[in-house]
Amino acid sequence: MSNQANESQYFDLHTTGIGYLNRIREVKPKGRGVKPFLAVTVAALCGSKEAVEYRYIDCNVVGAEAEKLVRRCIDAVNAEKKVLVSFRIGDCWADPFTYSSGPKQGQHGASLKGRLLYIGWIKVEGEFVYEAKPRDAASAEQQGTDQGNEGDQSAA
């Protein structure tokens, strides 16, 4: 009972979907003791197939597996190939800013930010190159419903 009282408790806000990877980069923050991190912009798909819309989410890549997978995609993204992934992004927030140059100079804007936690599968130019293995029966069932019809295909 006392162990439960000492445990930290968190409320998770997760966004799941599919989208294209863009702008994979190593961010080296200024300041002492601040470690560099991997970042990526996910162009998340939403809306109907006939009129797809995109929501761009700038993400810090967290977790060893997610980082390894994003690093595997760097060459394809730099070669302007279409890299489509299923993703889970945590703790999205809006980051307000003011445009400092260009036609919108002085106007206010906002960008969506989050933490890329998980990649379920990766397609490069329509070909499966990675598919996560289910961890247990419950997650396999959930993953199958998240992926829809594409969950039946195996990685290439």
Domain assignment present for residue 32? The answer is yes
Domain assignment present for residue 132? The answer is yes
Provide the pLDDT confidence category of residue 138 given band limits of 50, 70 and 90: very low
pLDDT at 4 > cutoff 50 = yes
The boundaries of the domain holding residue 94 are 11-149
Count Cβ atoms within 10 A of the Cβ of residue 4 and give its class: 0-12 exposed, 13-18 middle, 19 or more buried: exposed
Q: What is the pLDDT of residues 28-86, one digit of tens each?
A: 988 877 889 999 999 999 999 999 999 999 999 998 999 999 999 999 999 999 999 99
Domain assignment present for residue 84? The answer is yes
Domain assignment present for residue 134? The answer is yes
Provide the pLDDT confidence category of residue 150 given band limits of 50, 70 and 90: very low
Number of domains composing the chain: 1
pLDDT averaged over every residue in the chain = 86
Please state, in angstroms and rounded to a whole number, the distance separating the CA atoms of residues 108 and 96. 7
Please state, in angstroms and rounded to a whole number, the distance separating the CA atoms of residues 67 and 39. 9
pLDDT at 7 > cutoff 90 = no
Q: What is the pLDDT of residues 111-129, one digit of tens each?
A: 999 999 999 999 999 999 9
Domain assignment present for residue 83? The answer is yes
Count Cβ atoms within 10 A of the Cβ of residue 40 and give its class: 0-12 exposed, 13-18 middle, 19 or more buried: buried
Asked if 58 and 111 count as a contact pair (C-beta separation under 8 A), the reply is yes
Please state, in angstroms and rounded to a whole number, the distance separating the CA atoms of residues 55 and 19. 9
CATH number of the domain to which 15 belongs: 2.40.50
- Of the candidates 57, 108, 109, 112, the one whose C-alpha atom is nearest the C-alpha of residue 87 is 57
